[in-house]
């Protein structure tokens, strides 16, 4: 269960960052776009390192990735509605 929550949190954070990044690009906000792109790269590395480190990918890891991504799209849109 720990793996589920860890991966859900990492994936949630990554998708929120990517949503903010897309909105920053659309609104030509260069600093936000550059910062969120760098953060997305770091989070992507974290996910890959975690999955490669586990020899057998458990259901909790995959479920965490899916759940975190789905919730993060909605959160990213909500957070960026203020722009």
Mean pLDDT of 42-58: 70
Overall domain count for the chain: 1
Q: Supply the pLDDT for residue 28.
A: 79
Distance in angstroms (rounded) separating the CA atoms of residues 28 and 25: 5
Mean pLDDT of 10-32: 85
Over the chain, what is the mean pLDDT? 77
Distance in angstroms (rounded) separating the CA atoms of residues 30 and 36: 10
Q: Which domain holds residue 34?
A: 2-80
pTM here?
0.60
Given a cut of 80, is residue 64 above it in pLDDT? no
Given a cut of 70, is residue 56 above it in pLDDT? no
């Amino acid at each position: 269960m720990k793996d589920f929550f860890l991966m859900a949190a990492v994936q949630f954070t990554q998708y929120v960052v990517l949503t903010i990044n897309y909105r920053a690009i659309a609104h030509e906000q260069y600093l936000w776009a550059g910062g969120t792109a760098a953060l997305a790269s770091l989070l992507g590395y974290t996910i890959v390192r975690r999955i490669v480190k586990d020899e057998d990918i458990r259901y909790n890891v995959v479920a965490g990735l899916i759940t975190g991504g789905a919730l993060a799209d909605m959160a990213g849109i909500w957070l960026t509605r203020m722009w």
